Amino acid sequence: MQHLTEIPEEVILELEEIIHAPQRPGGSAGEKPFEYYLSEEYLNTLTLVDAASFSKLSLIMRGAYKENLPHISGFLKDLKYQISGNLSGSFYYPEDGFMSWHTNFKRKDYRVYFSKREPGEKISYFRYKQNGEIITSLDPEGWSARIFNVGDEQNPFWHCVYGGSGRYSVGFRLKPFEG
């Protein structure tokens, strides 16, 4: 997984347009405290059958997609990627919002998620499992990006998200740049 913390201003402007589009309610919380759904204990209860469906245990809002994104496309091209198809997600996590452990292995592609941490005492994060280890990648204040391979059925990329004091994220499916 690659974590980028230097995002050009013109890319940020396009991302801000996406996150300020009208939004609608997302998933619902589980019966236990949010910390449980982000824990290794909960991850160990899941199977690939669970991973095949969208995480139902979340407090999020889904945003809108904007078609023409020349600055985001240019930024990704410099990293040797290009947008492949649709937006993979546009979310707002309110305070203590989360998306539980899941994987998107059926898509077999790369993803980039740009995330914006809102100011506040609670720090948002992206947590994932790699080589049997749970890694928590804290979000810096402001915008950053993570690029990762979603894996496959033999090697799924398990991950979850915590919104802290508030967090936006905008994701795209990627493929290596051809050109």
CA-based nearest residue to 93, from 120, 118, 56, 121: 118
Q: What's the CA gap between 157 and 108, in Å, rounded?
A: 10
Average pLDDT, the chain: 84
Q: What is the pLDDT of residue 75?
A: 92
State the chain's maximal CA–CA distance in angstroms: 49
CA-to-CA dists, residue 9 to 13, 16, 22, 66, 78, angstroms = 6, 10, 23, 17, 15
Between the alpha carbon of residue 15 and those of residues 4, 43, 59, 69, the distances in Å are: 15, 31, 21, 9
What are the angstrom distances between the C-alpha of 69 and each of 1, 13, 24, 41, 89? 23, 10, 22, 40, 15
- Distance, CA of 56 to CA of 86 (rounded, Å): 21
Nearest to 11 by CA among 120, 161, 122, 112: 112
127 has a pLDDT exceeding 90: yes
Question: What tokens were used for 18?
Answer: 């996406």
pLDDT, tens digit (0-9, with 9 covering 90-100), for 48-97: 666 555 555 565 666 666 667 889 999 999 999 888 877 788 888 888 88
Rounded to an integer, the average pLDDT of 131-156 is 92
User: Residue 29: helix, strand or coil by DSSP?
Assistant: coil
**8 A C-beta contact, residue 168 and residue 92:** yes
Q: Work out the percent of the chain whose per-residue pLDDT is above 90.
A: 36
Residue 47 CB burial class (10 angstroms; 0-12, 13-18, ≥19) = exposed
- Cβ(93)–Cβ(55) under 8 Å? no
Stated pTM of the model: 0.84
How many other CB atoms are found less than 10 A from the CB of residue 67? Answer: 5
How many Cβ atoms are within 10 Å of 151's Cβ, its own excluded? Answer: 18
Render pLDDT for 10-41 as a digit per residue (tens, 0 to 9). 999 989 888 877 666 566 666 788 888 889 98
